[in-house]
């Protein structure tokens, strides 16, 4: 059998014409499916981003309410007699979420993009491995300038991911988001309860805007 004088048994680079036609049809179907699925993928990513922002808003509300009920002090601050509030540095994040966790569900403390973390069964069962958000142990509630309170844990400095534990954030550090999460961006929770989406290039101005030159970030 011939099509326009070309035998179906003829070969091009080892493939018959039928093989070539099948490959073209499969590629065409794949392209059509990709075009159809792309909007749904973007919708899912947008939905996850909204969930992450709402998570941080709920976390902000819980911490702000705690501070308002405790003389303007966050749970990582203690009052010392005749001395201003003192920041407590710890290697762990979960005790502070437990302290304000009356209105927080464990799923709220996990970013939907963070596939490496899973929500704890309850607040009492929290550990750093069930938390996606860092805390700033130097955040100030009663200050003319708002502080970083929390944010996505996906941070890096000089291209290297920041490990779990206490990380001292200073103005001379090259800090950014890791590129694999939130399309290279991330979310910051401020001490007034507001949330800001920001790209990596926004970190220098964020750091310089802080009321303190050094901030102890507790990375889960």
- Taking the C-alpha atoms of residue 212 and residue 4, their distance in angstroms, rounded to an integer, is 79
Biggest CA-to-CA distance, the chain: 99
Cα 157 from chain centroid?
16
Which residue has tokens 């981003």?
Answer: 49
| Per-residue pLDDT, 37 | 53
Lowest mean per-residue pLDDT among 20-29, 48-57, 104-113: 20-29
Most trustworthy range by pLDDT among 21-35, 106-120, 177-191 = 106-120
In this predicted structure, the answer to whether residue 6 has a pLDDT above a threshold of 60 is no
In this predicted structure, the answer to whether residue 35 has a pLDDT above a threshold of 70 is no
- Taking the C-alpha atoms of residue 98 and residue 25, their distance in angstroms, rounded to an integer, is 57
**Residue pair 128/164 in contact by the 8 Å Cβ criterion:** yes
Say if pTM beats, i.e. exceeds, 0.85: no
- Taking the C-alpha atoms of residue 217 and residue 141, their distance in angstroms, rounded to an integer, is 16
Q: Provide the residue ranges of all domains of the chain, joining segments of one domain with +.
A: 55-219
| Per-residue pLDDT, 12 | 47
In this predicted structure, the answer to whether residue 80 has a pLDDT above a threshold of 60 is no
Look at the alpha carbons of 137, 113, 105, 92 in this order and tell me if their dihedral is positive or negative: negative
Cα–Cα distances in angstroms (integers) from residue 64 to residues 71, 97, 191, 198, 217, in the given order: 11, 12, 7, 22, 18
Most trustworthy range by pLDDT among 21-25, 50-54, 139-143 = 50-54
Q: CB-based burial of residue 177 (10 Å sphere; 0-12 exposed, 13-18 middle, 19+ buried)?
A: buried
| 61: confidence class by pLDDT, cuts 50, 70, 90 | very high
Mean of all residue pLDDT scores within the chain: 82
- Give 79 or 126, the one with higher predicted confidence: 126
Question: And the tokens for 20?
Answer: 């070539």
Task: Return the exposure string of 132-147: e unless at least 16 CB atoms fall within 10 Å of the residue's CB, then b.
Answer: bbbbbbbbbbeeeebb
- Taking the C-alpha atoms of residue 175 and residue 36, their distance in angstroms, rounded to an integer, is 37
């Amino acid at each position: 059998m011939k099509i326009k004088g070309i035998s179906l048994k003829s070969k091009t680079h080892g493939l018959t014409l039928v093989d070539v036609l099948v490959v073209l049809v499969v590629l065409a179907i794949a392209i059509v499916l990709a075009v159809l699925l792309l909007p749904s993928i973007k919708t899912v990513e947008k939905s996850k981003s909204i969930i992450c922002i709402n998570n941080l808003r709920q976390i902000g509300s819980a911490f702000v309410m705690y501070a308002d009920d405790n003389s303007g002090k966050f749970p990582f601050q203690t009052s010392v007699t005749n001395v201003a509030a003192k920041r407590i540095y710890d290697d762990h994040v979960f005790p502070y979420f437990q302290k304000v966790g009356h209105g927080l569900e464990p799923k709220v403390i996990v970013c939907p993009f963070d596939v490496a973390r899973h929500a704890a069964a309850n607040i009492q069962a929290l550990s750093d491995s069930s938390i996606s958000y860092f805390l700033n142990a130097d955040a100030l509630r009663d200050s003319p300038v708002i502080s970083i309170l929390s944010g996505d844990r996906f941070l890096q400095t000089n291209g290297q991911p920041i490990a779990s534990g206490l990380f001292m954030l200073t103005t001379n550090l090259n800090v950014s988001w890791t590129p694999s999460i939130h399309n290279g961006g991330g979310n910051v929770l401020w001490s007034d309860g507001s949330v800001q989406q920001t790209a990596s290039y926004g970190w220098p101005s964020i750091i310089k805007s802080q009321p303190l030159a050094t901030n102890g970030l507790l990375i889960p």
